[in-house]
Amino acid sequence: MSTRKVVTALFLAAGLVTAGRTVVAHHAFGAEFDPNAPIRLQGKVVRLEWVNPHTWIHIETVKDGKPEIWMVEGGTPNTLLRRGITRDTVAVGTEVIVDGYQTKDHSLKRANGRDVTFADGRKLFMGSSGTGAPKDGSDPTEGGTKPAPKKPGGGK
């Protein structure tokens, strides 16, 4: 068996390919959000709930000239805290774009943050990297100090 085939097979087995993954999450997203209620939101961040099991980003949008407050579900804050990112990293008033699906309870203005970006399309945060992953000594290139907090969008 070629190395390429071995790598592909292992990649699939570890659930590292699809966004959906095969692992169990805190809750089934399909039970909470409505596939028949897709939404695109654009507005300013008014509050971040940096809580478990899911972070919630509150944004103010405008519909028919009237303001609406939407809550957008993210992941655990623990992984971002470990990279030096806190709820203060994204300033209130920052404009973001969100696409996702509304909760099955349509009386709630809540949605999953399927993709949360700045207005120019950059991701709100960045995935872990050689400098952001837990420092566990397995990377010979990692230094002896804690990585500096990253700026939104990876400090670009």
User: Among positive and negative, which fits the CA dihedral 11, 14, 30, 112?
Assistant: negative
- Indicate whether 70 belongs to the interface with other proteins (CB under 8 A): no
Of the pair 43, 125, the CB lying nearest other proteins is at: 125
Span interacting with other proteins, options 53-61, 62-70, 86-94, rule CB under 8 A: 53-61
Residues numbered 73-92 forming contacts with other proteins, rule: CB under 8 A: 73-82
Among the listed residues 63, 86, 108, 149, the single contact to other proteins using CB under 8 A: 108
Among the listed residues 25, 69, 91, 92, the single contact to other proteins using CB under 8 A: 25
CB 42 within 8 A of CB 96: yes
- Indicate whether 46 belongs to the interface with other proteins (CB under 8 A): no
Nearest approach in angstroms of CB 67 to other proteins is 20
